[in-house]
Amino acid sequence: MIRVATMEDVPTLHALVEAAFRGESARGGWTHEADLLDGQRIDRAALTDVMTDPDRTILMTDDATGCVQVSQIAPDLAALGLLAVRPDVQAGGLGRRLVLAAEDHAVRIHGARRMEMTVIAVRDELIAWYARQGYCRTGEIRPFPMDDPRFGLPRQPLSFVVLERSLPR
């Protein structure tokens, strides 16, 4: 079951996200960034900030195998982020279920008609996966925070591509 995360979930969410994106544990799955970035993916303070912001929500599975963040960024636009699935259960459909739950939340709670996300531009396999979920490149490129260790320590120059999809009403 997928539910709204609470402040009590911050330590569990932090461990999940770090395991899915960084270090040796992340290499057990296909979505990791361990070859692109060192350092952390997110810290507990940033997760706490999300929990206290009424425009941002983290959804997670009851068994803490996956999570996703939904943010309202304009009256008709939401953002999907922080999609993480524990490496040992990746490729089993949980990521797709979390994306659908995030889209449903964005429509029901925020009245969103579109969902966008940013993906590191060199992550071709991940961009292709999102394309299979209905997301398209907008043509917009955004800078990666290269000098901010809160987002990781890049091993090479990085940027983000913006993907977007219309949401069913």
The closest alpha carbon to 56, from 77, 39, 80, 72, belongs to 72
The closest alpha carbon to 16, from 56, 58, 57, 54, belongs to 58
Rounded to an integer, what distance in angstroms lies between the CA atom of residue 46 and that of residue 57?
12
Overall domain count for the chain:
1
The per-residue pLDDT for 108 is: 96
Find all residues with CB under 8 Å of 68, minimum gap 6, and list them: 58, 59, 60, 80, 81, 82, 83, 84, 98, 99, 101, 102
Q: Say how far residue 135 (Cα) sits from the centre of its chain.
A: 14
What's the whole-model pTM score? 0.93
Q: What is the CA radius of gyration of the chain?
A: 15
CATH number of the domain where residue 22 is located: 3.40.630.30
DSSP one-letter code for 53 = -
Tell me the pLDDT of the chain (169 aa) as tens digits: 999 999 999 999 999 998 888 767 767 777 667 788 888 889 999 999 999 999 999 999 999 999 999 999 999 999 999 999 998 888 889 999 999 999 999 999 999 999 999 999 999 999 999 999 999 999 999 999 988 888 888 999 999 999 999 998 7
Rounded to an integer, what distance in angstroms lies between the CA atom of residue 88 and that of residue 31?
11
β partners of residue 2 = 61
Quote the domain boundaries for residue 151: 2-166
